[in-house]
Copies of this chain bind each other. A is one copy, B any other.
């Protein structure tokens, strides 16, 4: 198919597709002549993926490219992919200085017995959030955080269960990405609704 059809089928304007091509989010089509290129279903799928990451999750174009590059590079070792570039989601601008809670997070991860890469961005994300909460007078010590971590373990089990049976490593990596990133807003929405429900249960029995 050519650009106009790709545009029609994806709902993304031709100029925006050109923009994504320029930015390297989308691979160029197969050239059929000097001024003509052919696109296939892979491009359509990729385009849908881009829109999902930028739209639903609000990732920046830069982060999206990094995530997609990581997907291409690490197909195969799925668990390296999980949470790879995704930690940089919360803040696009890197904070150069180390967060004061970094050591606390390391100790906590150790206490949990988790095997987590030393440089996992999620560590910094957690540290930053805890520091911020602390500065606003909300404690969140080990004791408070522990049950949350245990529930996170069970969520992770559910996540990994959904990758079972996918033998194609490309498909598995892509699904891992989708489940990690796109399920986040869904889980947070479930949490907010559950909070409302629990609050109603407690305050109006």
Contacts and interface: CB of A to CB of B under 8 A. Distances in A.
Given A83-B192, A196-B117, A197-B116, A185 B136 contact: no
A159 B56 contact: no
Contacts of A179: 138
B56 A196 contact: no
A61 interface: no
Number of identical monomers bound together in the oligomeric complex: 2
B185 A129 contact: yes
Interface stretch (A19-27, A28-36, A67-75, A118-126): A118-126
A18 interface: no
B115 A194 contact: no
A55 interface: yes
B82 A128 contact: no
Contact of A78 (B136, B138, B199): B199
A143 to B, nearest CB: 12
A192 B82 contact: yes
Given A128-B56, A151-B151, A187-B148, A180 B160 contact: no
A147 interface: yes
A14 interface: no
A155 B128 CA distance: 21
Interface in A126-162: 126, 128-130, 132-133, 135-136, 138, 140, 144-145, 147-149, 151-160, 162
Interface of A: 45, 48-49, 52, 55-58, 78-79, 82-83, 86-87, 90-91, 109, 114-117, 120, 122-123, 125-126, 128-130, 132-133, 135-136, 138, 140, 144-145, 147-149, 151-160, 162, 175, 178-180, 182-203
12 contacts: A79-B195, A122-B192, A122-B196, A126-B190, A132-B182, A133-B182, A138-B175, A151-B158, A152-B191, A152-B194, A156-B191, A160-B202
